[in-house]
Amino acid sequence: MRINVKRFFLAAVAAFVFIYIFDGSFHGMYMKEAYMATANVWRPVDTMMGYAPWILVGQALVAAVFALIFAYGCEGRGIMEGFRYGLYITLFVAGGMMMWYAVLPIPMDMLIKWIIGAFVKFSLAGMIVSLVYVRA
């Protein structure tokens, strides 16, 4: 199956913009207190800022692969197709989050918040990608 490269590119850019804004809000504001309470687990904030380019590259890679997988499986069924896709991706990444919970000294509520955040992020990203890819 071939994909429409222009639509894929536009969908990947839209996904990246959304993920960048969502992650900044979710992790930078909503999860801030939880991260401060577990500061011994994470890099110091001033050190972490030196790794910001890695965050951007990671977000861009996630957005591009997210859009690419959608484009290859797109059936053109509308926004609910994107929502379902986001739900499937959430279930996939939740497994990794559970493994991080097993090896990091973090509280269960952090894991739950991460999974809920992933559900919101990927469900909305899926709907955005479906709208952009199908209509572009």
pLDDT digits over 43-52, tens only?
A: 998 999 999 9
Residues 2-31 have pLDDT tens digits of 899 999 999 999 999 999 999 999 999 999
Q: Which domain holds residue 75?
A: 5-135
Round the average pLDDT of the chain to a whole number and report it: 96
Rg (CA), the chain: 16
Overall average pLDDT of the 76-104 stretch: 97
Question: Alpha-carbon distance 93 to 110, whole Å?
Answer: 15
Confidence of residue 136 (pLDDT cuts 50, 70, 90): low
Domains identified in the chain, total number: 1
* Distance from C-alpha of 40 to C-alpha of 17, rounded to nearest angstrom: 30
